[in-house]
Amino acid sequence: MWNYNYYVYITTNPDKTVLYVGVTNDIERRLFEHHENKGKWETFAGRYFCYNLIWFEHFFDINEAIMREKEIKGWRREKKELLIAKSNPDWKTIKL
């Protein structure tokens, strides 16, 4: 049986004023891409320098991951902050 890994994640900018919610099957590669795109206006994460990982959740099913991403994207910032605070109360950048 294949082992699939998907991640819903939240990154923020250095000032922690902007949150970016995404989904990926390779979180390390995706974070590298966010870092490489910093300052580039073509992408939201690049435009707002959202390359610091502060929260993530692991899934084995892509459909569940996408549903969770959409759910979180629909939340107000306050609810996202509560989610982050449960596992990372100081909003420290997570190193993988």
CATH number of residue 60's parent domain: 3.40.1440.10
**Distance, CA of 18 to CA of 81 (rounded, Å):** 11
pLDDT at 86: 98
pTM for the full predicted model: 0.93
Residue-wise pLDDT for 16-33, tens only, equals: 999 999 999 999 999 999
Number of domains in the chain: 1
- Domain hosting residue 72, numbered range: 6-87
Above 60 in pLDDT, residue 1?
Answer: no
pLDDT at 14: 96
**Distance, CA of 48 to CA of 14 (rounded, Å):** 9
Distance from chain centroid for Cα 96: 13
Above 80 in pLDDT, residue 3?
Answer: no
- pLDDT average, residue stretch 79-94: 98
